[in-house]
């Protein structure tokens, strides 16, 4: 077994993924049932995301833990922080070769992140998600929140432009948010 797979396996084991997977089961069922995409499209997107993550994990030139992958209707969105333009190009090239990818929205940022910044980003992400959940005007279960160096990326499928605008407004007003990237689709 390649050393990279051992590292990934140990990380997932140590990160406590099992309770998260079990604990989010009911949420996943609700999210799936109320998503604006068909169930088939949701499965296709989840499968494509898994294939993209596998392809990235198998590529030695890509820092697997630095790249987050989200897929909506075959369009893959990449977020995260990498250290040089060559890595950005390598990641995108790997993703484009995966069967079923219709497009790539490459939002990778160049730079580094300190442990303190990573913790700040986690806190900002929790604050954004909490604001979205607390709002009666936003269907927060359909919004994925990623934060990298204070840049918040909102990804998901919503029922209305008003809901999308409110989600962006709520995220943008929070302390610690430098910018909001709207990657929300209205269906």
Per DSSP (E only), the strands in the chain are 67-72, 75-82, 103-106, 109-110, 143-148, 151-158, 179-186
Q: Please, are residues 17 and 30 in contact by the beta-carbon 8 Å criterion?
A: no
What residues does each domain of the chain span? 37-111, 113-186
pLDDT digits (tens, 9 = 90+) for 159-179: 999 999 999 999 999 999 999
Superfamily of domain 113-186: Fe-S cluster assembly (FSCA) (3.30.300.130)
Q: What's the CATH class of domain 37-111?
A: alpha beta
Mean pLDDT of 15-31: 39
Give the pLDDT of residue 41.
74
Q: Is pTM beyond 0.85 here?
A: no
Q: Is 113-186 the same fold as 37-111?
A: no
Please name the helix (run of DSSP H) or strand (run of DSSP E) that holds residue 181, with its range, or none: strand 179-186
pLDDT digits (tens, 9 = 90+) for 32-88: 445 666 777 788 899 999 999 999 999 888 887 889 999 999 999 999 999 999 999
């Amino acid at each position: 077994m390649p050393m990279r797979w051992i590292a990934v396996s140990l990380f997932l084991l140590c990160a406590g993924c099992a309770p998260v997977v079990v604990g989010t089961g009911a949420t996943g069922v609700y999210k799936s049932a109320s998503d604006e995409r068909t169930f088939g499209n949701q499965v296709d997107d989840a499968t494509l995301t898994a294939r993209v993550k596998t392809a990235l994990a198998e590529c030695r030139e890509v820092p697997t833990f630095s790249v987050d992958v989200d897929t909506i209707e075959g369009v893959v969105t990449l977020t995260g922080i990498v250290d040089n333009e060559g890595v950005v190009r390598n990641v995108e090239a790997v993703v484009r070769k995966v069967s079923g990818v219709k497009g790539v929205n490459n939002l990778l940022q160049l730079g580094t992140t300190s442990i303190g910044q990573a913790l700040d980003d986690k806190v900002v992400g929790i604050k954004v998600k909490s604001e979205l959940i607390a709002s009666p005007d936003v269907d927060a279960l359909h919004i994925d929140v990623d934060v990298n160096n204070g840049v918040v990326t909102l990804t998901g499928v919503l029922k209305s432009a008003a809901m999308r605008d409110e989600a962006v407004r709520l995220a943008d007003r929070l302390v610690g948010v430098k910018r909001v990237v709207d990657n929300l689709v209205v269906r």
